[in-house]
Chain A
Amino acid sequence: MLKEKLNALLRIDRRWIFLGLTVVLFGAIMRPLGLINKEISKDTRNAYDFMEKLPAGSFVILSLDYDPSTAPELNPQAVAVARHAFRKNLRVGVVTYAAGATGLIEQLFAVVPAEFKKEYGRDYIIFPYQPSAVAALTQMASDLYGIYDKDKDGKDAKSMPVMLGVKNYKNISLVVCIAGTQMPTYWVQYAGDKYGVPVMAGVTAISQPGYGPYLQKKQLKGLLGGMKGAAEYEHLIDTPGKGTSGIDALSLAHVMVVGLIIVSNIAMVILKYL
């Protein structure tokens, strides 16, 4: 009898698991527990420290290459990094190589710069979408205006005050690539390794382990991984946002996975030895 029940438990219709997860996530979003992420990962801390040390007025490239599918994880990272940059009075140039990102970028920069009274053209600039990342990254090594002569609205980029003294990688202090694609790898290969521009990245939790070798060799100065990375960065800049509010749901879902794995193994052991 018990064996039958355990067998049924092991072969449970996955839709019950889906339902369980839905309840857990819904509960956490409706009634937040207010969990605080105490331990900041080394990679997030390194990313924060690197930007924190940049002198005011340094030109930073934000390469935002995520589309709406990965936006729930990556948009909080982008918001946190943009806030940090503006608070440090850094100049920001936004580029993208994902067509789906253009709308998200416009929405993000309609809100965040205003919080710090930053002005378009003086403190930040948004460049148009470019389909060929490799061609753009190669061109920026010699002359950025060879590919980005105009901003997203077709205005002359070079004459804007934000671009003063910026010509190529030599004048760029940091590249932050937040992407649901392979873009961080391209930035490392074509800008970081070749021209010595410091690169850091923000990626989805699922692709985070893949960037280990780049972190080990310091080809990436720091890495934010998924919603947890966003929450950690928000904690470091002391401005809670979507990342922090998502951490409850993330926590409970993780604990649910642990619970399920343990239950399935106990059931298996009982079936095997009893």
Chain B
Amino acid sequence: MKLIKKQIPLAIVLVFGTLTLLTYFVPHKRSVNFLETMNKWENIVAAFAFFLGLINLFYSHYTKISRKADGWGYSIFVYIGFLAIAIPAYVSHGKNMDGSVLTWMGWAFKYIYNPLSATMFAVLAFYIVSTAYKSFRIRSLQAFVLFAAAMFLILGNVPLGQMIWDKLFGWTSYAISDIVDWIMHVPAIAGKRGIMIGIAIGVVVTALKIIFGIERQYLGKD
């Protein structure tokens, strides 16, 4: 059992991890082919796993409904939602438009999926506004810097803000867009690069830990 659950997976990780690393230094056609094959395998495995996900989804909601667990009524919508898109897709042979006419699937996409999905993203705007209200309070010098940068960016981003700036601070001869450009291209990028470098190093070390089997919790421990 240990051989199947531990040693073989670790050997696969070691061999394929090392080979993939080597492809960076080996430009040979065989190395390119190897990489392409790996990409294809990843796609195939992901496609099968998607089925697994679907089965799991249906099964868990079926259990909820059959047990009449809390909020089981919502689970019915999983099936309704699935059928509302899957049936039109089947009827329309997976096409959204037939010439310039919307197919059933196109209709379902445009008038069901489209507004639902856009609504969720739009909710973000409401959360951002309420979060801004709660978090931009000047309690320290750092908070003041954050506050000032936010003010410049918010005002500089829209015409009304630009008009307000021109009215109040036009005499300074600084255009708000110049200040926004400076904030975005100097301190913001400097900070971002620092975090990016730290993350990149972390990725390298984590990859080594995985390739050499030092970190193997993702397989379940020994």
Query: Which A residues are closer than 8 A to B by beta carbons?
Result: 12, 14, 17-18, 21, 35-39, 41-42, 67-72, 100, 102-103, 106-107, 110, 131-132, 134-135, 138-139, 205-206, 209-210, 212-213, 215-216, 228, 247, 250-258, 260-261, 264-265, 268
B131 to chain A minimum Cβ distance, whole angstroms, is 9
Given the known inter-chain contacts A42-B181, A103-B96, A206-B124, please indicate yes or no for A257 contacting B113, CB distance below 8 A: no
CA distance A69 to B118 in the complex (A): 4
Contact A260 B132 (CB under 8 A): yes
Nearest A residue to B42 via CB reads A132
The one of A12, A107, A216, A251 that contacts B189, using a Cβ cutoff of 8 Å: A216
CA distance A213 to B137 in the complex (A): 29
The one of A12, A42, A70, A134 that contacts B121, using a Cβ cutoff of 8 Å: A70
CA distance A257 to B131 in the complex (A): 10
Starting from the known contacts A18-B129, A135-B43, A209-B184, 8 additional A-B residue pairs (CB-CB under 8 Å) come to A21-B126, A39-B159, A42-B181, A68-B114, A68-B118, A212-B184, A251-B161, A265-B138
Interchain Cβ contacts under 8 Å between A and B, 25 examples: A12-B133, A21-B129, A35-B158, A35-B159, A35-B160, A39-B175, A41-B177, A68-B109, A68-B118, A69-B118, A70-B121, A107-B96, A107-B106, A206-B124, A209-B188, A215-B185, A228-B157, A251-B159, A251-B161, A253-B129, A257-B129, A261-B133, A261-B136, A261-B151, A264-B136
Instruction: Select the residue from A131, A209, A254 with max chain B CB neighbours within 10 A.
Output: A254
A105 to chain B minimum Cβ distance, whole angstroms, is 9
- Asked if B122 is at the interface (CB within 8 A of a chain A CB), the reply is yes
Report A-chain residues with C-beta under 8 Å of the C-beta of B115.
68
CA distance A139 to B151 in the complex (A): 45
Nearest A residue to B177 via CB reads A39
A194 to chain B minimum Cβ distance, whole angstroms, is 12
Q: How large is the interface on B (under 10, 10 to 19, 20 to 34, 35 or more residues)?
A: 35 or more
- Asked if B78 is at the interface (CB within 8 A of a chain A CB), the reply is no
Which residues of B from 187 to 208 have beta carbons under 8 Å from A?
A: 188-189, 192-193, 196
- Across chains A and B, the number of contacting residue pairs, with CB separation under 8 Å, is 154
CA distance A70 to B125 in the complex (A): 12
Contact B133 A71 (CB under 8 A): no
Contact A213 B196 (CB under 8 A): yes
Contact B118 A264 (CB under 8 A): no
Interface of A is mostly: helix
Query: Which B residues are closer than 8 A to A by beta carbons?
Result: 35-36, 39-40, 42-43, 46, 96-97, 100, 105-106, 109-110, 113-118, 120-122, 124-126, 128-130, 132-134, 136-139, 147, 150-151, 154-155, 157-164, 175-177, 181, 184-185, 188-189, 192-193, 196
Report B-chain residues with C-beta under 8 Å of the C-beta of A206.
124
Nearest A residue to B151 via CB reads A258
CA distance A265 to B144 in the complex (A): 11
Nearest A residue to B105 via CB reads A103
Report A-chain residues with C-beta under 8 Å of the C-beta of B100.
110
Contact A212 B192 (CB under 8 A): yes
Contact A134 B39 (CB under 8 A): yes
Report A-chain residues with C-beta under 8 Å of the C-beta of B97.
106-107, 110
Contact A138 B36 (CB under 8 A): yes
CA distance A134 to B39 in the complex (A): 8
Report B-chain residues with C-beta under 8 Å of the C-beta of A228.
157-158
CA distance A260 to B136 in the complex (A): 10
CA distance A149 to B135 in the complex (A): 52
CA distance A45 to B85 in the complex (A): 41
Report B-chain residues with C-beta under 8 Å of the C-beta of A110.
97, 100
The one of B114, B125, B133, B184 that contacts A253, using a Cβ cutoff of 8 Å: B125
Contact B114 A14 (CB under 8 A): no
Nearest B residue to A14 via CB reads B130
B205 to chain A minimum Cβ distance, whole angstroms, is 21
Report B-chain residues with C-beta under 8 Å of the C-beta of A100.
113, 117
Interchain residue pairs A-B with the least CB separation, the first 7 = A251-B160, A69-B121, A14-B130, A251-B158, A68-B114, A68-B117, A103-B109
